[in-house]
Amino acid sequence: MTGPIYLALVHHPVRGRGGDEITTSVTNLDVHDIARTARTYGIVRYYVVTPITAQRDLVNHILGYWRVGKGGERVPERTEALSIVEDVDSIEAAIAAITAREGRAPRVVTTAAKERAAATSFDALRAELAASDGPWLLMFGTGYGLADRVLDRADVHLAPVRPGGYNHLAVRSAVAIIIDRLLGDG
Amino acid sequence: MTGPIYLALVHHPVRGRGGDEITTSVTNLDVHDIARTARTYGIVRYYVVTPITAQRDLVNHILGYWRVGKGGERVPERTEALSIVEDVDSIEAAIAAITAREGRAPRVVTTAAKERAAATSFDALRAELAASDGPWLLMFGTGYGLADRVLDRADVHLAPVRPGGYNHLAVRSAVAIIIDRLLGDG
Residue B70's pLDDT band (cuts 50, 70, 90): confident
Q: Which pLDDT does position A58 carry in this prediction?
A: 93
Minimum mean pLDDT range among A124-138, A157-171, B149-163: A157-171
CB contact under 8 A, B166 and A37: no
CB contact under 8 A, A184 and B161: yes
Q: Phi and psi dihedrals of A131, rounded to 5? A: -95, -5
Nearest CA in chain A to B176: A173
DSSP label at A45? -
pTM of the entire predicted model: 0.95
Q: For chain B, what is the mean pLDDT?
A: 93
For residue A56, pLDDT over 70 is answered with yes
Higher pLDDT: B176 or A74? It is B176
Q: How large is the C-alpha radius of gyration of chain A?
A: 16
Nearest CA in chain B to A164: B40
Q: Are B49 and B8 in contact (CB under 8 A)?
A: yes
The SS3 of residue A31 is helix
Rounded to the nearest 10 degrees, the angle between the axes of helix B122-131 and helix B171-183 is 60
Q: Which pLDDT does position B76 carry in this prediction?
A: 84
Amino acid identity at B179 = I
Residue in B140, B166, B171 to test binding to A, most A beta-carbons within 10 Å? B166
Q: Which residues of B touch A (CB under 8 A)?
A: 29, 32-33, 36-37, 39-41, 77-78, 80-81, 122, 161-163, 165-170, 172-177, 180-181, 184-186
Q: Are B91 and B139 in contact (CB under 8 A)?
A: yes
Q: How large is the C-alpha radius of gyration of chain B?
A: 16
CA of A37 vs chain B CAs: smallest distance (Å): 6
Amino acid identity at B112 = A
- Of A15, A11, A14, nearest in space to A27 by CA: A11
Mean pLDDT, residues B161-171: 87
Distances from the Cα of A40 to the Cαs of A35, A85, B160, B167, B169, in angstroms? 8, 13, 12, 5, 7
Mean pLDDT, residues A112-132: 93
A165: chain B residues, CB-CB within 8 Å: 40
Nearest CA in chain B to A180: B177
Strand partners, A85: A46
Integer Cα distance of A47 and A175 in angstroms = 13
What element of type H or E holds A86?
A: strand A85-88
Strand-strand pairing, B21-22 and B5-10: unpaired
Q: Which pLDDT does position A118 carry in this prediction?
A: 87
Q: Which pLDDT does position A76 carry in this prediction?
A: 84
A162: chain B residues, CB-CB within 8 Å: 40-41, 184-185
Minimum mean pLDDT range among A66-80, B18-32, B145-159: A66-80
CB contact under 8 A, A173 and B168: no
Integer Cα distance of A124 and A126 in angstroms = 5
B110 Cβ neighbours under 8 A, 6+ residues apart: B139, B146, B150, B151, B154, B156, B157, B158
Question: Alpha carbon A179 to chain centroid distance?
Answer: 10
For residue A116, pLDDT over 90 is answered with no
Minimum mean pLDDT range among A29-33, A72-76, A90-94: A72-76
- Of A46, A6, A10, nearest in space to A144 by CA: A10
A175: chain B residues, CB-CB within 8 Å: 173
Note the helical H segments in A68-121.
Answer: 71-74, 76-82, 91-102
Residue A35's pLDDT band (cuts 50, 70, 90): very high
Higher pLDDT: A185 or B7? It is B7
For residue B6, pLDDT over 80 is answered with yes
Q: Which pLDDT does position A82 carry in this prediction?
A: 92
Cα angle for residues B34, A116, A17 (degrees, 5° grid):
55
For residue B185, pLDDT over 70 is answered with yes
ipTM field: 0.94
Q: Which pLDDT does position A1 carry in this prediction?
A: 60
- Of A172, A67, A60, nearest in space to B176 by CA: A172
B34-58: burial string, b at 16+ Cβ within 10 Å, e else:
bbbbbbbbebbbbbbbbeeeebbeb
Q: What is the pLDDT of residues B81-109, one digit of tens each?
A: 999 999 999 999 999 999 999 999 999 99
Residue in B173, B179, B181, B185 to test binding to A, most A beta-carbons within 10 Å? B173
Residue A52's pLDDT band (cuts 50, 70, 90): very high
For residue B161, pLDDT over 80 is answered with yes
Q: What is the pLDDT of residues B45-67, one digit of tens each?
A: 999 999 999 999 999 998 988 88
Minimum mean pLDDT range among A12-16, A148-152, B159-163: B159-163
What element of type H or E holds B87?
A: strand B85-88
Mean pLDDT, residues B9-18: 96
- Domains in chain A, ordered, with CATH? 5-183 (3.40.1280.10)
Integer Cα distance of A150 and A94 in angstroms = 13
Integer Cα distance of A43 and A50 in angstroms = 20
CB contact under 8 A, B39 and A168: yes
Residue A31: CB atoms within 10 A of its CB come to 22
DSSP label at A152? T
Q: Which pLDDT does position A163 carry in this prediction?
A: 76
Instruction: Considering only the beta carbons, identify the residue of B33, B77, B180 that sits closest to A180.
Output: B180
Nearest CA in chain B to A35: B169
Q: What is the pLDDT of residues B102-154, one digit of tens each?
A: 999 999 999 999 888 889 999 999 999 999 998 999 999 999 999 999 999 99
Q: Which pLDDT does position B1 carry in this prediction?
A: 60
